[in-house]
Structure 1
């Protein structure tokens, strides 16, 4: 159950868009739609997160590969952003490319492994990010994390990708290789982008957006806890 004050001011969230191809932005649009009050940051176009204002940050997917940093300088800049978010302990969620860039930023390895565009079954840890999340999820990727970044541990795995979700051991940082934003309505866009593999699962088995709802709750709880701590420290005569 959430401990956040329902009357408290909403946390300040930023959605970092990472798609360089204007014809493939449907996934960024879909993700941003789950955070209607968040500010969108077009990282590829040169926008940057005002980190002093951020209560939480979400990193989207991309058709770019993190190993393309030499040709796409913004990738190295996003890796630097990830390290600062960890250092400042600002709640962060990486999705697909976001999952990969987080691991890469922290010393992990990302490789091309072959395309998977399908509903797949995952093994999800008992983590608050996965509260109410069904194990059938949307996979849309050709790259995968093959070695964990420093400080990260695996919290989700799939048959085709062992490191399918991660969590930082000390910072409020989570990543998922799958796409919690995608619903059945997006199948045509997926087919146009590279095909869709119909398997035994159905979109009726998927819980779209639940990961985002959980992350937003975790951000709100952390923001409220930080506010309470500051108020206690600023109140004269208060004992610790």
Structure 2
């Protein structure tokens, strides 16, 4: 069983976490944003931290983020597979001492370049959908970059010693929900150019192995 923690703070924008849950073959969906303590990680084969319109550096969110930082450390210590998506990517690196900064809003397809081998990015094509404003500008302790974009060298990352991966893009963002963000603009690409959902398949396969 894979635990999907939905970190979205705006209920009306809480459509991406359920998509992660839908695309994973055996998962449990929990809304994690707010004062609720996350479930114990030991009961799961893997954990996914979703995106959010919150920012990890905002003081008002620290009460529910701190328990998740502890969860990240426990996953590393106990070798529990963990995948951070967008906000989850920032959250993991921030929890491990990295830096996250505000940038401009991007809501479109971009082209990434893999810079290191990464089990989660195996066979994933370069064109991926993004919905974000913040960026990881310094990796957390133990993390290394596995992909970059034209505007960010830390676009994806993995941990040196633990089954922990993070991606700045949204593998769960497909045509099913593409009408939800009011500013989505695919520009020159289409969903046919992207197989980003393979990230979730790769993660699920690792958790089963």
Report whether the alignment pairs 1:216 with 2:204.
Answer: yes
Unaligned 5+ residue runs, structure 2? none
Q: What are the within-5 Å matches in structure 2 for residues 1-240 of structure 1?
A: 12-45=1-34, 46-124=36-114, 125-191=116-182, 195-221=183-209
Shift of 1:137: 0.1
CA contact (8 A) 2:156 2:168 kept: yes
User: TM (normalized to structure 2)?
Assistant: 0.94
Higher helix share: 1
- Runs of 4+ deviating beyond 4 Å: none
CA contact (8 A) 2:76 2:164 kept: yes
* CA distance in 2 between partners of 1:208 and 1:81 (Å): 26
* CA distance in 2 between partners of 1:147 and 1:216 (Å): 28
Shift of 1:71: 4.3
Unaligned 5+ residue runs, structure 1? 1-11, 222-240
Shift of 1:182: 0.6
Shift of 1:28: 1.1
* CA distance in 2 between partners of 1:172 and 1:133 (Å): 18
CA contact (8 A) 1:69 1:75 kept: no
* CA distance in 1 between partners of 2:87 and 2:161 (Å): 22
Shift of 1:37: 2.1
Shift of 1:74: 0.5
CA contact (8 A) 1:69 1:76 kept: no
Q: CA deviation digits over 1:92-137, x for unaligned, max 9?
A: 0000010000000000010101111110000023322112211100
Shift of 1:187: 2.1
Q: CA RMSD in A?
A: 1.4
CA contact (8 A) 1:122 1:135 kept: yes
* CA distance in 2 between partners of 1:171 and 1:22 (Å): 32
CA contact (8 A) 1:99 1:177 kept: yes
The alignment partner of 2:93 has SS state of: helix
The alignment partner of 1:184 has SS state of: coil
